[in-house]
A and B are shown apart, each in its own frame.
Chain A
Amino acid sequence: GDSVTQMEGPVTLSEEAFLTINCTYTATGYPSLFWYVQYPGEGLQLLLKATKADDKGSNKGFEATYRKETTSFHLEKGSVQVSDSAVYFCALRQGSSNTGKLIFGQGTTLQVKP
């Protein structure tokens, strides 16, 4: 079945460091790919998405490119801030409908120190 694998955490960085969180997926066809972020005590928030190969999703300084050849959707940010500390989830959804179920990775905790 479809699945998502993320790099193990926690990832600990100093403020203004470069961030990469790896995400790879296994799926048939052409799924849509997402990054969600979960701040302490809150629900998941959509960070960015890409719906087809070579699409680049971006938001709030974060970027991820849909790479079908490597089945990857790695999250990057050029300069992290303490406020970026959270748990990041990579997810996929089959089909184009907004009602398809999301399949999540296990999450990667990011800790940014001043």
Chain B
Amino acid sequence: DAGVTQSPTHLIKTRGQQVTLRCSPKSGHDTVSWYQQALGQGPQFIFQYYEEEERQRGNFPDRFSGHQFPNYSSELNVNALLLGDSALYLCASSFPSGGAFLADTQYFGPGTRLTVL
């Protein structure tokens, strides 16, 4: 069973460009969350998608948008890139609650490293 997968692994863009990052959740997961992890920092919550709608949003500008598809995969879009958007972008999917240790938690993908020049 594949875990959470993300693509691409690395990406280099220039200021002002737009970027799309992709995430496939773990099998059976229906909720996808996105986090931004700047170098040397902990991840910060961007937003969460469930049933193809944004359910929660962190303190990020409207330049950050997303989408969830009927197969639960998700995209993160960032417009008008700034140098400060350089970070590791992590996708996490949620396991249905059921009482097991790994239920009620979020599984993380390996991330996409975005560099803005």
Q: Which A residues are within 8 Å of any B CB, using their own CB?
A: 4, 34, 36, 41-46, 49, 51, 59, 89, 91, 96-107
Contacts and interface: CB of A to CB of B under 8 A. Distances in A.
B45 A101 contact: yes
Given A98-B96, A99-B55, A106-B41, A43 B50 contact: no
Interface in B91-117: 92, 94-97, 101-111
B90 interface: yes
29 contacts: A36-B108, A43-B109, A43-B111, A44-B43, A44-B90, A44-B92, A46-B107, A51-B104, A59-B101, A89-B42, A96-B104, A98-B94, A98-B95, A98-B96, A98-B97, A98-B103, A98-B105, A98-B106, A99-B50, A101-B56, A101-B58, A102-B33, A102-B45, A102-B106, A103-B45, A104-B43, A105-B42, A106-B42, A107-B42
B86 interface: no
Interface residues of B, number: 32
A107 B88 CA distance: 14
B25 to A, nearest CB: 12
B110 A43 contact: yes
B48 interface: yes
A100 to B, nearest CB: 8
B4 interface: yes
B78 to A, nearest CB: 19
Contacts of B45: 101-103
A44 B108 contact: yes
Contact of B94 (A34, A51, A99): A99
B44 to A, nearest CB: 7
